[in-house]
Structure 1
């Protein structure tokens, strides 16, 4: 294979990770990923780079069967991050390519962010800050995280990091997951419950599930109606897990006490932008731009791990097993 180009379209791919690739004889080629308000798109510059690339470090770019067929040189795709719902995994496998991700890279950062959203909404930090900026120093009464019941929808790596951080708040932790790890739950003091029970008992519901056909709009109008009046919703996973229209209605009516959102539905569906704007106008909504995993430390860990996966794949060495999403190379 003559080409040793590695295309990097993941934003904030730092110099240390680039140098690691270069130290192994690889040429780093970068290209910006345009964003059209619905999803990222493949730019002309990216198409040119993909012609010679043997590997691709991906951020949010979509990967389709057609794209893979068009660029047969590429043997490895390294997703810088954990979620891969923009990638056709079956196509990767059938095209005899390797797809990896970077578990463990940004999990502490996302967990920190989720706790920050819980505290920010409960303590009404945005409202208080905006009032102070306007010269209004009236005290707003918030609520404590201490002693509350927190429900985690999904109990994977990020959620388990959150469990560690919640211990200092003396909360009761409930969890719903399609698979259960009884030994971990017993050790960590987590109680597995049904989704319905989690919704009815929790003061704070935090979403950590992957986006699938089954989890899309997991929190819809009936589910939100079952929640405690005044409960808080936190979402650092995928915007499509929540029916944003139902969320908006529940916040406006007072059914829910607030929401901390790092992701929203309009991130991929521009038709939902009016709903997002209304959510942002509410004083009890704290929203960040899908930034939970974007800490300096988390990005550095993820970048290095993605680079290591690419190097191992190109050099024919074993790729870390925990990073492999799909591997069709042996077929």
Structure 2
């Protein structure tokens, strides 16, 4: 009996581990790692370049490239697009479904590392670590007075997996937790000591505001000049979610004017809108801004987890099986029945 033909899986991400490559190989997949230009990510590649790289791909493990209807129309062989991450605002899910393909995210893979990163930004900003080191580098060892995270009021905007992870970590600081979410879970809130409030109350009452909401038309520029004006001048804003949640120009103005104490930022509006590049440059130059380059999910362990989940999603589609729970964001295949041993329906 002849062996099934190998399927081609193209990965347009760096830091793709050998263990996951071996797993894909064991499932009948030939893995091809895209040769990305130095300092560039797949989101920087043109549609023509992506179409060339993916011309013979059955599966695509993608980072931040835009998955458009026009691109997908040029890739008739492609069956599955698996994001090594959880956000999918750059994926045209309607086009994926219409063209009979599947799109998935690596749900649950990076929750822990992003929640850890959010706490790191809170602590670094509240203890003024960047300012202190900048002064020490300049020869001034004067002591700057920081502030505790202990027993402070922390507002968490969005209570998905990462937001809940942040809440659980804050228990060790005996923090008072406020949360603004579209779907409050009262039982979970009581168990973890969370008070559900509206956004206005959260902003006005919190010493730290941490953003964990998805980027949608309703949440775009959620934190604008008006929202920032509701915050305490001693407050800290942390964003490890999406740059589009914050009007970075308004944030820059608030920080420069002393209307906000500090910010911890892993994401920036300039990532999706180059017209904000100069704003980002000014933000990261401020001594009271702790900045990282959208790296909160990039721990060795977190990348290995998301690599594996994206690979499992890819294999499931190519083999006609069920995807891991919570991973499907678009499925254009005909409805299928699964046995009792299946992990559940694939359709979102």
TM interval, shorter chain, is over 0.9
What is the rounded CA distance, in whole Å, between the counterparts of 2:184 and 2:321 in structure 1?
33
Q: 1:211 aligns with which of 211, 215, 225?
A: 215
Report the CA distance between 1:3 and its aligned residue: 5.9
What is the rounded CA distance, in whole Å, between the counterparts of 1:221 and 1:164 in structure 2?
30
Matched, 1:106 2:96: no
Report the CA distance between 1:48 and its aligned residue: 2.8
Report the CA distance between 1:41 and its aligned residue: 2.4
Q: Secondary structure at the match of 2:58?
A: strand
Q: Which 4+ residue blocks in structure 1 deviate beyond 3 angstroms? A: 32-39, 42-46
Residue in 1 that maps onto 2:188 = 184
Quickly say closer, same or farther: Cα 1:72–1:2, change in 2 above 3 A. farther
What does 1:252-331 align with in structure 2 at a 5 Å threshold?
Answer: 252-330=256-334
Q: 2:133 aligns with which of 126, 129, 145?
A: 129
What is the rounded CA distance, in whole Å, between the counterparts of 1:283 and 1:129 in structure 2?
10
What does 1:47-66 align with in structure 2 at a 5 Å threshold?
Answer: 47-66=51-70
Quickly say closer, same or farther: Cα 1:277–1:108, change in 2 above 3 A. same
Moved more, 182-191 or 266-275: 266-275
Q: What TM-score do the two structures reach when normalised by structure 2?
A: 0.91
Contact 2:36 2:42 in 1 (8 A): no
Count matched residues.
Answer: 331
Report the CA distance between 1:271 and its aligned residue: 1.3
Task: Show structure 1 runs of 5+ residues with no match.
Answer: none
What is the rounded CA distance, in whole Å, between the counterparts of 1:38 and 1:174 in structure 2?
37
Q: 2:150 aligns with which of 146, 153, 160?
A: 146
Contact 2:47 2:71 in 1 (8 A): no
Contact 2:179 2:195 in 1 (8 A): yes
Q: Secondary structure at the match of 1:321?
A: coil
What is the rounded CA distance, in whole Å, between the counterparts of 1:17 and 1:3 in structure 2?
16
Report the CA distance between 1:154 and its aligned residue: 0.3
Matched, 1:95 2:99: yes
When the two chains are superposed, the root-mean-square deviation of aligned CA atoms in Å is 1.8
What does 1:61-76 align with in structure 2 at a 5 Å threshold?
Answer: 61-76=65-80
Contact 1:42 1:62 in 2 (8 A): no
Q: What TM-score do the two structures reach when normalised by structure 1?
A: 0.96
Contact 2:42 2:65 in 1 (8 A): no
Q: Secondary structure at the match of 1:78?
A: strand
Task: Show structure 2 runs of 5+ residues with no match.
Answer: 336-348
